[in-house]
């Protein structure tokens, strides 16, 4: 099982503030840097920088909204990220099952 992982995508999702922003956008449906900053312990400018990262990896769609930009989650890209995570999890589960079988075989051979 060979899993291709998008490092840029996972680097973007790896930041707790950006994950919280995605949660907020999913809950609210959409938001601006200003509206998101009201729910986060960072400035509006910091939120705007995080949104640029999420936009660059395709996790959000952006559209003009007056003087601000309105962001919403790109559900197709989020589903791709979830699928990658599931694939990585499955690959590690398989590795751990193999390690367990080897450890059990070693234990059986040393007790006999």
Q: Cα separation of 60 and 20, whole Å?
A: 13
pTM for this predicted structure: 0.78
Task: Indicate if the alpha-carbon torsion angle 53, 56, 58, 61 is positive or negative.
Answer: positive
Strands 68-73 and 60-65: antiparallel
* Residue 46 burial (CB count, 10 A): 14
Domain edges within the chain: 7-111
Tokens of residue 62, six digits? 């952006």
Q: Cα separation of 19 and 24, whole Å?
A: 9
Q: Encode pLDDT of 34-75 as tens digits.
A: 999 999 999 999 999 999 999 999 999 999 988 999 999 999
Q: What is the pLDDT of residue 3?
A: 56
Q: Does domain 7-111 have CATH number 1.10.10.10?
A: yes
């Amino acid at each position: 099982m060979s899993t291709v992982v998008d490092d840029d995508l996972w680097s973007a999702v790896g930041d707790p503030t950006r994950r919280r922003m995605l949660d907020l956008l999913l809950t609210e449906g959409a938001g601006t840097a200003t509206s998101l900053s009201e729910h986060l312990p960072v400035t509006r400018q910091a939120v705007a920088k995080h949104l640029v990262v999420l936009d660059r990896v395709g996790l959000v769609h952006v559209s003009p909204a007056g003087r601000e930009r309105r962001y919403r989650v790109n559900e197709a890209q989020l589903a791709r990220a979830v699928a990658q995570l599931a694939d990585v999890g499955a690959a590690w589960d398989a590795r751990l099952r193999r390690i367990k079988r080897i450890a059990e075989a070693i234990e059986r051979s040393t007790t006999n």
